[in-house]
Structure 1
Amino acid sequence: MKTKQILTAGAIALSMILTGCSSSSTETKDTKTAEIAKKKEVKTIGQKTKDSKSLKMTNNTGKKITVFETKSSSEESFSDNLLENGDAVKNKEQRTLYYTVKENDKLDVKIGLQDQDKTFVFKDVDTTDTKKVDVSLKDDKVNLDVTKKDGTTATLTPSEDSAKTEDEKKDETEVKQEEKKEETAKADSSNKSNTSESKKDNTASTTNTSSNKNNTGSSSKPSNNNSSNSNNSKPAEHTHNWVAQYKTVNVPEKGHNEQVLVQAAYDEQVPIKEMQEFTFCSTCGANITGHAVEHLENSLNCQGYYTDWREVTTGYNTVHHEAVYETRYVVDSPATTKQELTGYKCSGCGKTKAN
């Protein structure tokens, strides 16, 4: 009986241990799965909806993108910044952009970089068959490098007035407001003048009516008050809507000529050559110049000798070579273009004014 109780208790303990191990193993797997899912999570720009479209966007500007706004091309104002506070698209980071455009519309995009007070606006971006978009930076201007699904590419540049600073836009707004105030003041002055003329005409009309009543039997000329009132009424003054006008100015390349060393100066040792006569043993071939008789007398086998003229180096002359230079053109700043303000033009009547 005791043996059965011991076995039963052991089985229960083993079951609890196995259950604990299984639970721990499951929790570990769940944690790893969550970590893997977190690593695979891709950040987006904008919210995915049933009507939204999407495309891949990569930041290749070398800086962080802190402003990203979109709108349909027929809409007047952009959306709020699609990047939340503290969020920025890092350099080389790829994200999925979700956007919504109206039917038959194209996409307008506004982009701003970190530590810059400029934003860059791209109007009427055709996203049809677009595979991906790379945001790049060239000559302090943001560009959109669009790659189509067929492999073709195109570079989109920002609109002419989009790269203005907020201060420049503020100045233009203030100019427009001053123009509107002047036009409003002129219109008010004209209206006051018309009102005064109208009052005078009404007074004259009342006087004429009274006179007509007192002189019922006499003939009178018809009143021209209606004609006077008609001439004094003026159409409403036109309010100019001044739009800044720009022209593209070519900035030529700048550079200078400079001397570049091709070969450094050096000294060359040139040997001095001359012909000299030598005596050689006819038997062993030894050079016995100056002691031919002694050589033959002291040798048992050598018999006879001959002479020969040969060229020898007797010294060296030092020849100096000057350094060699050539002129090369060095580019200081490459040719480029810039936008220059030329004046303002009214979008309503076409009138222009100088800057």
Structure 2
Amino acid sequence: MKTKQILMAGALALSMVLSGGMLSGCSNSSTKDTKTTEVAKKKEVKTIGQKTKDSKSLKFTNNTGKKITVFETKSSTEENFSDNLLEDGDAVKNKEQRTLYYEVKENDKLDVKIGLQDQDKTFVFKNVDTTDTKKVDVSLKDDKVNLDVTKKDGSTATLTPSEDSAKTEDEKKEEQEVKQEEKKEEKKEETAKADSSNKSNTSESKKDNTASTTNTSSNKNNTSSSSKPSNSSNSSNSNSSKPAEHTHNWVAQYKTVNVPEKGHNEQVLVQAAYDEPTYGYEYHSFCNTCGLDLTANGINDAQHVKQHMLNGEGGSTTQKPVEVQTGTIHHEAVYETRYVVDSPATTKQELTGYKCSGCGKTKAN
């Protein structure tokens, strides 16, 4: 009886262990699925523009330090940009990556317009070649947006905006107003010329009618003209009292631009190469009678002493240390880098536009 109870208890314990393991396995599987979903969400990249069968795509990253609120594209031969591809309230945050979908005509390149938050100016990049482009970084340098393009072969290039793209909307409106004023002035001049031609024709017609009247009528007209001014003279006076049409006198406007100094570094010889002799000491035999250095002159000591003795003179030698050159030390030439000015810093006058000396209107260069 006790044996059966023990067996039943063991079976029950084993069943609990197995069921617990299965529950734990289910829990771990559920956790892994949740983490995988979260990672997938994090890796998801937002898009700009509509993906179609004809559209192309490229990835760009905002590295301007600000939010991009305007992003427009067009084919390079088209006149007008598309509407803002970023919907109201949407902005590309700093360090955010997006995938751009765009369409260009055959053999065309891409034009891009970019604007940053809290700025009233946009930056236009014309004829952007996206062939074999790996990625594009949007950066901000000297208050201007740049495109840093990296090709698939690893080569890089920085694209700068077109010269007139950084103008504010107010400046563009002013340029349009100036152009409209110029067109109005041209129309007024054409109208004035047409009116002048019509008046000339009318005057010729009146002369012909006057010539065909009788002498009596001519006399009456003369009498009338002597007593009071004629209608034609009043008309002439009226025309002469009109103010002259304004013609713009455009005066060039300049600004002073600083041109920095240009130069280069070059190597200048400071000390030429040379060989320095080295010295040491060696012992030579000197004749005590005549003082001759026998070693330096290659003379045998015994023979020299013998000759003195044959001459009836004393003969002996002394060993003395003598300084002699033992070798040389070679010194290489010494150079130093010096900056050489090619052209000094200066200033120049740069044309910025034109201004009418009469009315003060301005127009771009």
* TM-score, normalised with respect to structure 2: 0.50
**What SS does structure 2 have at the residue aligned with 1:67?**
strand
| Amino acid of the structure 1 residue aligned with 2:165 | S
Q: 1:106, CA displacement in angstroms?
A: 1.0
Q: How many correspondences in the alignment?
A: 215
Query: Does the 8 Å CA contact 1:45/1:97 hold for their aligned counterparts?
Result: yes
**Of the candidates 117, 139, 158, which is equivalent to residue 114 of structure 1?**
117
| Aligned position for 1:58 | 61
Q: Does 1:77 align with 2:73?
A: no
**What SS does structure 1 have at the residue aligned with 2:95?**
coil
Q: How does 1:231-310 map to 2 (within 5 A)?
A: 249-250=257-258, 252=260
Query: Does the 8 Å CA contact 1:160/1:339 hold for their aligned counterparts?
Result: no
User: Once the two structures are superposed, what CA deviation does each residue of 1:78-104 show, in whole Å capped at 9, x if it has no partner?
Assistant: 111111111111111111111111111
Change (3 A) 1:27 1:249: same
User: Once the two structures are superposed, what CA deviation does each residue of 1:157-196 show, in whole Å capped at 9, x if it has no partner?
Assistant: 1111111112222222222222222222111111111222
User: Once the two structures are superposed, what CA deviation does each residue of 1:212-247 show, in whole Å capped at 9, x if it has no partner?
Assistant: xxxxxxxxxxxxxxxxxxxxxxxxxxxx9x9x9999
| Aligned position for 1:147 | 150
Q: Does 1:342 align with 2:345?
A: no
Unaligned runs of 5+ in 2: 1-26, 214-247, 262-344, 356-362
Change (3 A) 1:45 1:341: farther
| Aligned position for 2:133 | 130
Query: Does the 8 Å CA contact 1:146/1:156 hold for their aligned counterparts?
Result: yes
Q: Does 1:100 align with 2:103?
A: yes
**Separation in structure 1 between the aligned mates of residue 349 and residue 120 of structure 2, nearest angstrom:** 18
**Separation in structure 1 between the aligned mates of residue 172 and residue 254 of structure 2, nearest angstrom:** 14
| Aligned position for 2:233 | none
Change (3 A) 1:197 1:100: same
**What SS does structure 2 have at the residue aligned with 1:95?**
strand
| Amino acid of the structure 2 residue aligned with 1:181 | K
RMSD over aligned Cα atoms: 4.2
Query: Does the 8 Å CA contact 2:59/2:100 hold for their aligned counterparts?
Result: yes
**Of the candidates 150, 172, 178, which is equivalent to residue 175 of structure 2?**
172
Q: Does 1:163 align with 2:166?
A: yes
Query: Does the 8 Å CA contact 1:131/1:147 hold for their aligned counterparts?
Result: yes
Q: 1:197, CA displacement in angstroms?
A: 2.6
Runs of 4+ in 1 over 3 A off after TM superposition: 24-40, 198-210, 244-253, 337-341
**Separation in structure 1 between the aligned mates of residue 191 and residue 57 of structure 2, nearest angstrom:** 52
Unaligned runs of 5+ in 1: 1-23, 211-239, 254-334, 346-352
**Separation in structure 2 between the aligned mates of residue 340 and residue 118 of structure 1, nearest angstrom:** 22
Change (3 A) 1:129 1:182: same
| Amino acid of the structure 2 residue aligned with 1:96 | T
Query: Does the 8 Å CA contact 1:160/1:246 hold for their aligned counterparts?
Result: no
**What SS does structure 1 have at the residue aligned with 2:99?**
strand
**Separation in structure 2 between the aligned mates of residue 184 and residue 143 of structure 1, nearest angstrom:** 42
Change (3 A) 1:32 1:138: closer
Q: 1:343, CA displacement in angstroms?
A: 2.5
**What SS does structure 2 have at the residue aligned with 1:183?**
helix
| Amino acid of the structure 2 residue aligned with 1:85 | D
